[in-house]
Structure 1
Amino acid sequence: MDAEEFEGIERVADGEFVRLELVRGEMRTTARADGDRSEAVAWLIRTFVRLRPEYSLYSGYGLKAEVDHRGRLRPDAVLAPAGSFAGHGEWADPAAVLMVVEVTSCEQARDRRTREEKPLVYAETAIPLCLVIDRDGRETVVHGRPENGVYTTVVRHPFGTRVRLPAPVDLTFDSDRLLSLGR
């Protein structure tokens, strides 16, 4: 399926019940946010506003993905300089994106995509950082330095420890709040 076909289908899909993504020409459903996922993203938004007010953490915004931008992904959150998406449509060019955030769901098949497949697509798209909040693993995973379609660094931080996000984000936060997330 090409991106234009996908966008036509996605426009008429009822986003209240299903969210769609396009990965490597295949349309997929994504999990809707549950309470813990929403709380994790809301907490990150508050954290980033406090620590880096020049950035905005956009929740649920669509990105063009893959090397040729044929893919369409909806990360749980997208970090970019404030105002980066003004004038853009529903699917933004990822050039301004500094980091994407993914929070694992309660479904194993989707969790595998969140932990393994989506970071590969984000690396291929040349997004500098991918932060995965792994609820089952009880850890944050920082993927960085994309080269040749893969992140060359992967650093794991157990919930409750300090998490360092390297350049271009350059900040450190305490992940104690994540300890209250359910699995």
Structure 2
Amino acid sequence: MVVEVRQPSAQLSVDEFEALAEFTAREIETVSLEFIGGRLGVRKARNGNHGAVAAWLACRCLEARPDLGLHPNLGLRVEEHGEGRALPDGVLAPKGSFAGQGAWAGPGTALMTVEITSHDPDTHHRDRVAKPRSYAGAGIPLYLLVDRDTRWTAVHSHPDPALGYRDVHMVRFGGTLTLPEPLGIDLDTEELKQYAD
């Protein structure tokens, strides 16, 4: 594959990003690419504790709402006009919602996106700043951040395309976090203490 090097002032188009992401997924299995806020991001492979948090959340959500599925690492078109491309750690939506969609699905049926922090330098910007803004811009009702660095969980609600999420409720690992409507699920986060590292 030939990669054209552009001048620093030129921006990557969504089509160029999708071609690059497809190549990377096929040829370099230890990283994935995202395109958030016009910025190319690289996500490294996750560790076992990261996966354990995702499995814990899937079990809790599906026990409370068996009509839903937690779709891991699903590519989503995000931001107000769908110009972004994100790979959330999970997307909670009705079962079968994304069947037949391509590599980058529309967010229309997503009830909640989930991010689990990784111990890397871009975590703050990616998971705490850029992604909440992008998911709110796409109109996704809830964003759940499981922050292993700070040992807090945070549910963001009431998306506003211009402002991001208007409400954030945080609970330290060990407390009970309520995922508001459209979910109405209470999460006992005690188990997360063992996956913080």
TM over 0.5: yes
Matched residue, 1:30: 43
- Whether 2:192 is the aligned partner of 1:178: answer yes
Matched residue, 2:170: 156
Q: Note the aligned Cα RMSD (angstroms).
A: 1.2
Tell me if the contact between 1:64 and 1:72 (Cα under 8 Å) persists in the aligned partners.
yes
Mean Cα deviation higher: 104-113 or 43-52: 104-113
- Whether 2:84 is the aligned partner of 1:68: answer no
Shift of 1:33: 1.4
Amino acid at match of 1:136: D
Tell me if the contact between 1:104 and 1:115 (Cα under 8 Å) persists in the aligned partners.
no
- Whether 2:130 is the aligned partner of 1:117: answer yes
Amino acid at match of 1:158: R
Distance in 2 (CA, whole Å) between partners of 1:110 and 1:140 is 15
Amino acid at match of 1:58: H
Structure 2 vs 1, CA of residues 30 and 79 (structure 1 numbering), >3 Å: closer, same or farther?
Answer: same
Query: Greater Rg, structure 1 or structure 2?
Result: 2
SS of residue paired to 1:95: coil
* TM-superposition CA deviations, 1:101-158 (whole Å, max 9, x none): 0011111322332112211111111111000001111110111001243111001011
Tell me how many residue pairs correspond in the alignment.
183
Tell me if the contact between 2:77 and 2:105 (Cα under 8 Å) persists in the aligned partners.
yes
- Percent identical: 37
- Whether 2:102 is the aligned partner of 1:99: answer no
SS of residue paired to 2:122: helix
Amino acid at match of 1:81: P
Tell me if the contact between 1:102 and 1:133 (Cα under 8 Å) persists in the aligned partners.
yes
Gap regions ≥5 residues in structure 1: none
- Whether 2:20 is the aligned partner of 1:9: answer yes
* TM-superposition CA deviations, 1:13-66 (whole Å, max 9, x none): 135221100112222101321111111001111111211100000110100011
Q: Residue 131 of structure 1 is aligned with which of 144, 147, 163?
A: 144
Distance in 1 (CA, whole Å) between partners of 2:150 and 2:89 is 18
SS of residue paired to 1:43: helix
Q: Which runs of 4+ in 1 moved over 3 A?
A: none
Distance in 2 (CA, whole Å) between partners of 1:3 and 1:171 is 35
Distance in 2 (CA, whole Å) between partners of 1:45 and 1:163 is 15
SS of residue paired to 1:57: strand
Gap regions ≥5 residues in structure 2: 1-11
Distance in 1 (CA, whole Å) between partners of 2:107 and 2:16 is 20
